[in-house]
Amino acid sequence: MIIRDLGLVEYEPVVADMREFTLTRDDTTDDQLWLLEHQPVFTQGANGDPAHLVNPHDIPVVNTDRGGQVTYHGPGQLVAYTLIDLRRKKSGVRELVGRLEQTIIAMLADFDINAYARQDAPGVYVDERKIASLGLRVKRGACYHGVSFNIDMDLTPFHYINPCGQAGMEVIDLTSLDIKLDMAEAKQRFVAAFQQQMQTGK
């Protein structure tokens, strides 16, 4: 798997690049993992309900082709895009979602934080508060989009929406849990935990 660190970038060009990569890849194309932060943006999933975008204020809203409802991306949030050939791995979307959730859960366990996933609402939670969100898209047997993990960010914009379609859902970051982790280390820890999940599936 090729790992790319894109830094702090705008949302739409990256999504266009992911889509182009997915549509032009073939059976021999290496899978890639893109790590980045986005400039402030609300993204609305393909089947998202506009009612969940309560008041965007001056933050741009972008309709996108991933699954799920509306969410927020901004600096201090680790975004990991998984460009993976699922057919080649004989894997499905639900399995990859589970592995991404377990990646975040394992990272938090290293800090003695008890995190968990929910069957009814993909993502990672701590004490009924959401710390990571997921949304994927599959084309021609390969997936793109991925997971966003809140590290140390301004959480205010989450109050402008029903996060992932869940009214009243509290969104937190690592700083909310009194964990200080810089983005460079967060990326390193994510890569290690994700690679382990992809190798073991446990």
Does the annotation place 147 within a ligand binding site? yes
Q: Which two tokens stand for residue 112?
A: 């003695």
Which residues are the active-site residues?
Answer: 164
Does the annotation place 52 within a ligand binding site? no
Does the annotation place 69 within a ligand binding site? yes
Does the annotation place 14 within a ligand binding site? no
Q: Phi/psi zone of residue 123: left (φ > 0), alpha (ψ -120 to 50 degrees), beta?
A: left
Does the annotation place 174 within a ligand binding site? no
Does the annotation place 146 within a ligand binding site? yes
Does the annotation place 72 within a ligand binding site? yes
Does the annotation place 66 within a ligand binding site? yes
Does the annotation place 92 within a ligand binding site? no
Does the annotation place 168 within a ligand binding site? no
| Contact of 101 with 131, CB cutoff 8 Å | no
Does the annotation place 165 within a ligand binding site? no
The full DSSP string for the chain is -EEEEEEEE-HHHHHHHHHHHHHH--TTPPPEEEEEEE-SEEEE-TT--GGG----TTS-EEE-SSSSS-EEE-TTEEEEEEEEETTTTT--HHHHHHHHHHHHHHHHHTTT---B--SSS-SEEETTEEEEEEEEEEETTEEEEEEEEESS---GGGGGS-GGG-TT--B--TGGGT----HHHHHHHHHHHHHHHHHH--
Task: Please report, in range form, the residues annotated as the binding site.
Answer: 66-73, 133-135, 146-148
Annotated binding site for substrate: 66-73, 133-135, 146-148
